[in-house]
Amino acid sequence: MFIQKRNIYVNMQAEAEVMSVGKAGLVVLIYNKIISHLNGAINAIEANNLPEKQVRIQKTMDLIELGLVAYLDLSTGEVATNLQNFYGSAMINITRANIANNTEDLQKIADSFNDLKEAWKELSKEKAAA
């Protein structure tokens, strides 16, 4: 019973956080989740916990495909096209790293998402200041 109530509270907190940020802030939240799941996959590989690795990889892929790619508006120009290319490349590289249990490649992908996250955070600050 306690766990069920806690899960409801956690879901409500997450929903409130999503509702309080703009588009750039939402992208930052998604990037944070992607980085977290990639780090979880790396830890799972190092612990030889392959079922957990698969869960983390699948959540990462879902976030990229359903949380990022699905909402790109390619009519907005070069940035959207570049992001689409990056996300597609990331998904291919995650798949390869997953098959090979390659933690170094997963870390490089996580680092790339972290670099993008920092850029989106700056964009979010600039929009808030404008």
3-class secondary-structure state, position 87: helix
| Least confident among 17-31, 55-69, 75-89, 113-127 | 17-31
At 126, the pLDDT band (50, 70, 90 cuts) reads confident
| Dihedral angle over CA of 22, 24, 28, 33, nearest 10 | 70
Check residue 4 and give its pLDDT: 56
Domains of the chain: 23-129 (1.20.120.340)
Check residue 110 and give its pLDDT: 98
pTM given for the model:
0.82
3-class secondary-structure state, position 47: coil
Question: What is the C-alpha to C-alpha distance for residues 44 and 84, in angstroms, rounded to an integer?
Answer: 28
Could you read off the pLDDT of 12-56 as tens digits, one per residue? 444 544 444 588 889 999 999 999 999 999 999 999 999 999 999
Question: What is the C-alpha to C-alpha distance for residues 28 and 68, in angstroms, rounded to an integer?
Answer: 11
Residues 102 and 96 sit within 8 Å (Cβ to Cβ): yes
Whether 11 shows a pLDDT value over 60: the answer reads no
CA angle 119, 54, 40 (to 5 degrees): 45
Question: What is the C-alpha to C-alpha distance for residues 38 and 9, in angstroms, rounded to an integer?
Answer: 25
